[in-house]
Amino acid sequence: MSNPLPIIPETTLARVLVVGDVMLDRYWFGEVSRISPEAPVPVVHVQRSEERPGGAANVARNAAALGAKVSLLAVVGNDEPASALEQLLSDDGVNARLHRDPSLSTTIKLRVLGRQQQLLRIDFENLPAHEVLRDKLVEFRALLPEHDVVVLSDYGKGGLLHVQEMIDLARAAGKIVLVDPKGDDYSRYRGASLLTPNRSELRQVVGQWRNEEDLVARAQGLRSELALEALLVTRSEEGMSLFRAEGTVHEGTRAQEVFDVSGAGDTVIATLAVMLAAKSDLVDAMRLSNHAAGIVVAKLGTATVTLKEMQGS
């Protein structure tokens, strides 16, 4: 039996700064009625397409959907997908500060779907120039005073090359810093307020645990080693676990139906950021973010959750 949901705070007071790797998620929907004569693959007759902000941009739009004032700082190419991203983010009410790098192609994840099933994903990407990233750091410093919570959304695309410097600057300014980590070396996130790895990402860093007791020991060891206030591990059908110096709090999953988990981690960290910026305590913020994740996994692709949905379900 799930605990009753905490009261949702006044989210319009929340000011969230999101920094990280942005991408454009493109979806081609079509019908599949035959196999290609050229190769043993389905032929998709594309009938409609959709575009949505992905990566850190999806975190930003999720925070904005909950009523927060949101700024997004990222590097993109000087190309059509960047313009599409800017327009989508503007429509979602996000203050997007996208630095254009002419040598960069804006990251695109193109998904081809037939009968609501993903058949293929094609990625277009390369890494941003060092000079553009340095410029972003200057703007990051300038934006800090206007925000309560900083979210660093790392998708391993090079946009967070200076992540340790960003954490140090934000913490020195008294800001809460949440990090969605990537890779197997978390030392670069040392001193953040909280990290939100999923189960498999944590396993890459601490190794395979034998049981729940072993997981707690490994997670608390990592939290202590990196000087984090907390570690929030999302565990798919097992819900999520919050590891703090005071102990561990576990919240079972609230998902009624799982249709698509892509972007669920973005929803979790965005909800967490908004609730903390609106002065929820950490445990309440975790429970609300778990609730939001349970709603978003019933939707297709990178999606958002509104306050109305959170209050009504």
Amino acid, res. 72 = L
Amino acid, res. 177 = V
Place of tokens 């600057």: 169
Rounded to whole angstroms, the Cα distance separating 85 from 100 reads 12
180 in active site: no
Place of tokens 């139906």: 257
Amino acid, res. 200 = S
Rounded to whole angstroms, the Cα distance separating 309 from 294 reads 11
- Per annotation, catalytic residue among 214, 266, 281, 284: 266
Exposed/middle/buried for 95, CB within 10 Å: 0-12, 13-18, 19+?
Answer: middle
Closest CA to 55 of 175, 156, 163, 192: 156
Q: What backbone phi and psi angles, to 5 degrees, belong to 305?
A: -125, 135
Q: Which residues are catalytic?
A: 266
